[in-house]
Structure 1
């Protein structure tokens, strides 16, 4: 029997929480609600969730701080942030602190539902939690990377890009694809954010080089 897909909605605005919960429920998901980080944390201790929808500013703190701390301990549940904070710096902070998607209020509930369903599909794809290529090892559950057995320290964005590359080794992945999977949908596809992260990744991964540039197409992970 297939385990139902379960989602947590953490939102202190009761009307919005009820509306979001109802919409996700109508999409066939099992949905729980919480009004604070503390209440959500208690629920996480007793239940597994396939995705969590977090309002950023909650009565007991900014949710990105909580998510960042949980990510450091290996928490890998996909997270969608809902927030009225729409500056580029705020959106980048959401992703850098472990968010998988970011939706600015006011939003269309149908779009929010589509994003949650996409995150749930990604989480339940059946992909192994540890991905290996040459002497590189990426533990997706623990969010740890090792090269030749040496543990490396990566930012959340560096980890996300590397995870995309190692999931499709040898395949050229376009910058636009990397932006779609690792950044906000509002990120300019013509910006150089991918190139900046790849440059940092190459430096941290050291020689021999694993991330190769495919001219006119993007990047691929290949043996040296």
Structure 2
């Protein structure tokens, strides 16, 4: 006869395992925000199905061992529950450790950027960083220098960090932008970005010469 108590425990553990494996992707992908379908896809559910199938095989083999006071069905349930419980514990530990590690790295990045913001404010030179990769200049050198001069007039410069997008660094940059926002508004007045962009747009755009071709 199958133990109802053992059966209920087994069902609960398996359901917790499925939930932890699926939703654990949220902790692994943090701080990225994704919809439920992306989370399910990233969790690779087929790996869990393979693990459950292997556990079932191992539990079936264990059920043939002689254990006092347990019939084969209960031995199967007990072994299967223990195996699922071990995997559940590992997943929870791994996901929690990953989240804590990422959160710590983000906090360190934020603190560094906040400190950098204070230093840049003292120098009256706020630097906005962005990942833009390599791009073909739209303006000639003279026009680009004028654009830089306009930006410096408003106390800002822009720095291309390259092609690599670092999510942790982006979180830090957001703190930097928050830290300098009030300073720039106080320095330049509200709506300073629109004003700066209008001045840049009003510059005479000089097209780059086309490469010589035969």
Whichever structure has more helix as a proportion of its residues is: 2
Larger Rg over CA atoms: 2
**Structure of higher RCO (CA pairs closer than 8 Å, 6+ residues apart):** 2
Q: TM-score, normalised by structure 2?
A: 0.23
Whichever structure has more strand as a proportion of its residues is: 1
